[in-house]
Amino acid sequence: MPAVFAATVPFFALIALGYLAARRGLMPLEAIPGLNGFVLYFALPCLLYRFAAGTPLAQLLDARVVAVWGVAAMAVVALATAAARRAGHRWNDAAFGALVAAFPNTGFMGVPLLAALLGPAVAGPVIVTIAFDMIVTSSLCIALSRLDTHQGGAAAQAVRRALAGIVRNPMPWAIVLGALASALQWRLPAPAERTLGMLADAASPAALFTIGAVLARSALRARAAGAQPPLKDALRDLLPVVGFKLLLHPLLVLGLVATLSAAGLGLSPLAGVALVLTAALPSASNVSMLAERYGADTGRVARIILWTTVAAFFSFPLAVGLVHGR
């Protein structure tokens, strides 16, 4: 277990440094979108391209990985949405609460962290989860969020907007181009490959630092708006969602991996471990931007992301020790 903490602490330390830098004013809040843009449009796409290009195409098209991840994600969305609706939340807030319960921070945090823990061969199943969550999980939750409106076609229109956003997002294209390069055994010219490698190497520290800065900005905005609920109410509202994300989600994935194995359709040991640990990651930080765009309670979403990130400092190494045997 000490070895696991030694491997994971630097990743969470970079998040903490980003949080402190923004919270203390060392990084102006106005600079965060620029840093986020560098990660989203330059560094992370290069990292994903490099991983996808180095992964056999069969691993990127493994239907068993899609089945395990998809069933678990849909179950978490259904359970989290039902719990929020019973608690009195409108569809918009229930849907985005479900999205942070089912959508781990795979791009900004999971890819570099899991590659450091398990090696570059982990890229195949992790990339599949990114694609599924961006296309299916996000679109489903955005459609559910529109059920508050009584206008015909609101959900379908929201899904079309979500899919249009995916088309404009460079990360799926980086995965597709990397998969194509893998299938064709094609390599970039040496100068281009070195440039891509430099940007890919910058992705991990920049992405983790950005997560912390975004969390700090959300906390500062919530405080300025006076939107902080009493602690007792926050615990009652947010703890179930944190439990869905950090406990239920990885347990569901673990159960599905074991079920496939018992049926003789088992994943490789590395793929199974990768999926469980991906599910054990904290919530994706970009969900707060989606929630803001669709008029949901961004303060609630930001608090869930912050709480899962802090709690994952302790829960994620435990998950690694349990499923990876370190």
DSSP 244-264: IIIIIHHHHHHHHHHHHHHTT
CA distance 138 to 172: 14
> Which pLDDT tens digit goes with each residue over 40-55?
899 989 998 998 898 8
CA distance 157 to 163: 10
For 262-309, what is each residue's pLDDT tens digit?
888 878 899 999 999 999 999 988 888 888 888 888 888 888 998 999
Judge whether residue 4 has pLDDT over 70: yes
Comparing 69-78, 80-89, 168-177, the range with the smallest average pLDDT is 168-177
DSSP state of 121: G
As a whole number, the mean pLDDT across the chain is 87
For residue 326, pLDDT over 50 is answered with no
> How many whole angstroms separate alpha carbon 247 and alpha carbon 176?
31
Residue 35 belongs to a domain with what CATH number? 1.20.1530.20
> Whole-prediction pTM value?
0.87
- Identify the DSSP state of 62: -
Mean pLDDT of 232-248: 86
Q: Count how many Cα atoms sit within 13 Å of the Cα of residue 276 in the half-sphere of its side chain.
A: 25
Can you give the pLDDT at residue 295? 84
**CA–CA separation, 304 vs 298, rounded Å?**
10
| Residue closest to 122 by CA, chosen among 241, 257, 253, 276 | 276
Query: Strand, coil or helix: what is 27?
Result: coil
Indicate if the pLDDT at residue 228 is higher than 70. no
Neighbours of 136 (CB within 10 A): 16
pLDDT for res 154: 66
Q: What is the DSSP letter of 280?
A: T
What is the reported pLDDT for 266? 79
Domain coverage including residue 210: 2-324
Q: Which residue has the tokens 């489903």?
A: 140
Q: Which whole-number Å values give the CA distances from 98 to 61, 70, 104, in the listed order?
A: 27, 14, 11
pLDDT digits (tens, 9 = 90+) for 149-177: 755 566 677 767 767 776 778 888 899 99
Residue 106 has pLDDT above 50, yes or no: yes
**Tally of structural domains, the chain:** 1
